[in-house]
Amino acid sequence: MHRFLRSFPILLFIFVVGLSGCNPAGITPQATPLSANDLADSTITASGTVIPAQYQWVGFESGGTLRELLVATGDTVSPGQILARLDETILRAAVTQAKAALIRARNIRNELEELPKEDSRAAAVAAVASAEANLDRLERSGARQIEIDAAKAQLESARASLKALEEGASRAQITQADADVEAAQAALEQAEAALRSATLQAPFGGQVVEIAPKVGDVLAPGQPIILLADLSKMQVETTDLSEVDVAQIAIGDDVLVTFDALEGITVRGKVVKIALKAAPGVNVTYPVTIELENPPQSLRWGMTAFIKIQP
């Protein structure tokens, strides 16, 4: 009996342990809460650069000599404001010549369409009669053959002129005249467009960040002239986001951004754009654009940013 009592505590312990190893049906084990370290592992970090939401190098469509710069670096401009002008001397002369060519083409077309006037026909008939009389006189007088041949040629020409007046312009002539008018009109429109393009206007409102040429420089068509940017709305673009990380990111993901130059400032943002292709370079990286909420006034284009994205 004493031996059993000494063994009882050991048997009770084995029984309790056996019960704790059983999982009754219908009872789900509780999930273990994630620690702060586990949450940190899901955050994606990257570096980036501050950029304006809208910026563009603008230039003239046509080439020429830069005659006038109407803005300076730092100026604020509105949409449509004139920024610069090219020398228009040659362009204005081209418009004048094109207008004159169009007038000539229209006059020719109108002349072909008009019916022969009676006085013109009378003059042509008189010219034929005179040529016939002259040829008859030369032949009767025994003139030299060269004189007779010239008289015959004159008669044939007079008769051809009379025939042309009586028949009027052919349809082929009128069709060609119409084509000439259309070509002259197109040339004038092109010359006027070139003249208009000699004035450079701001495509959107913003600030003049940089001006490349100086007055008097000869510019090529499309050459960048002025860097214009809307600095009122800044964004951040990543520079080293790997292909592994970008696969976990989606539009609308929350972001926290800090800046190397602005100590103690953290700005919230959201992912608004993910590049469809990798950026040029040795490493495979994808630029991701982040829109900032209430960015500080001291933020500048080109500042370095440190980014934490929560997928």
pLDDT, tens digit, for every residue of 85-104? Answer: 999 998 999 999 999 999 99
CATH number at residue 212: 2.40.50.100
SS3 call for 153: helix
Q: Give the pairing of strands 226-238 and 44-58.
A: antiparallel
This prediction has a pTM of 0.60
> In whole angstroms, what is the distance from residue 249 CA to residue 114 CA?
75
Residues 6+ apart with CB under 8 A from 227: 55, 56, 57, 208, 209, 210, 211, 212
The residue range of the domain holding 277 is: 40-87+199-310
Long-range contacts of 272-277 (CB under 8 A, 24+ apart): 272/235, 274/246, 274/249, 274/250
Is the pLDDT at 27 greater than 60? The verdict is: no
**Tell me: the pLDDT tens digits for 238-259?**
999 999 999 999 999 999 999 9
> What is the spatial distance between Cα 235 and Cα 292, in angstroms, rounded to a whole number?
6
pLDDT score, position 271:
98
Query: Of the residues 131, 164, 196, which one is the last residue of a structural domain?
Result: 196
Say if residue 210 is in the same domain as residue 300. Answer: yes
What's the whole-number mean pLDDT along residues 48-73?
95
Average pLDDT over residues 103-122: 77
104, 180 contact by CB (below 8 A): no
pLDDT in tens, 275-294: 999 999 889 999 999 999 99
Domain match, 134 and 158 both: yes
